[in-house]
Amino acid sequence: MCEGLNILKQGAEAKLFICNYLGKPTLIKERFKKHYRHIDLDVSITKERIKNEARLIVRCKIAGVKTPALYLVDFERRRIYMQHFENSITVKDFIINVVAKNEKEIDKALNFVAKQIGETVRKMHENNIIHGDLTTSNMLLVEKLPSNVQDDTKWFHYDNLELVMIDFGLSFIDTSTEDKGVDLYVLERALISTHNNFPDLFETILNSYKNFSTKNIKEIISKFDEVRARGRKRTMVG
């Protein structure tokens, strides 16, 4: 079905393989068995997440949010086959390894990436898509046209970059503002813990999120503040 399987990396819940499927560079995401949890629980979680991932990728396409194209779902082998972006970098790597080392570009690069993130997340929420795991590891920057530039300077040609969302295992469809608020809260927390050297990043993202569309924005933001308060003020006894 797919020749030449090379393991790319092992994440927390899946192994990623690169191969060539029907002549296209393909990424296989295999949600391997987790022996620590009860077998029934493992099977149901895995099945649900594969389903979610496939379903939400399609949903994002309709909403105009960039994601990898879905090629094949194989429940038997717990695999999803999807488009592999050869010229890409995770936003996490971009911020930590590229931006931080090019001082002159910091402001411009962060503003660009924050605007992209804010707009993309807003677009998803407008379509009631809740990502469920918004971190900078789950966002890719991809070159629209491969530039063949070898060094990092290619990541500063912003016109040639687009943001691609990945990893929809925890995603779902929901119309409530509560889930959108939680989604934003998860993103804020991820940024605080991973990119603590750029404390303003989330604020910039949130502004772009707010400005992209005005529909329901008051309700979402007040829900977000409520979720935030719940987390921060929770009595932490014992």
For the annotated catalytic residues, the residue numbers are 133
Q: How far, in Å, CA of 121 to CA of 204, rounded?
A: 13
> In 3D, which of 51, 60, 158 has the Cα closest to residue 108?
158
Q: Report the Cα–Cα distance between both ends of the chain, in Å, rounded.
A: 54
φ, ψ for residue 91 (rounded to 5)?
Answer: -60, -35
232 belongs to the binding site for other proteins (CB under 8 A): yes
238 belongs to the binding site for other proteins (CB under 8 A): yes
Sign, Cα dihedral of 95, 142, 140, 131? positive
Distance, C-alpha 50 to centroid of its chain: 16
Query: Could you say which of 19, 190, 191, 206 contacts other proteins (CB under 8 A)?
Result: 190
Query: Could you say which of 34, 55, 66, 210 contacts other proteins (CB under 8 A)?
Result: 34
Is 28:80 a contact under the CB 8 Å cutoff?
A: yes
> Which span sits near other proteins by CB under 8 A: 68-76, 111-119, 134-142, 155-163?
134-142
199 belongs to the binding site for other proteins (CB under 8 A): no
Shortest approach of other proteins to residue 159 CB, angstroms?
Answer: 31
227 belongs to the binding site for other proteins (CB under 8 A): yes
Radius of gyration of the chain (CA): 19
104 belongs to the binding site for other proteins (CB under 8 A): no
> Which span sits near other proteins by CB under 8 A: 81-89, 119-127, 184-192, 200-208?
184-192
Query: Could you say which of 88, 111, 127, 137 contacts other proteins (CB under 8 A)?
Result: 137
Q: How far, in Å, CA of 87 to CA of 35, rounded?
A: 35
Write out the residues near other proteins by the rule CB under 8 A: 10-13, 34-38, 40-41, 44-45, 132-135, 137, 170, 182, 185-186, 189-190, 192-194, 196-197, 227, 230-238
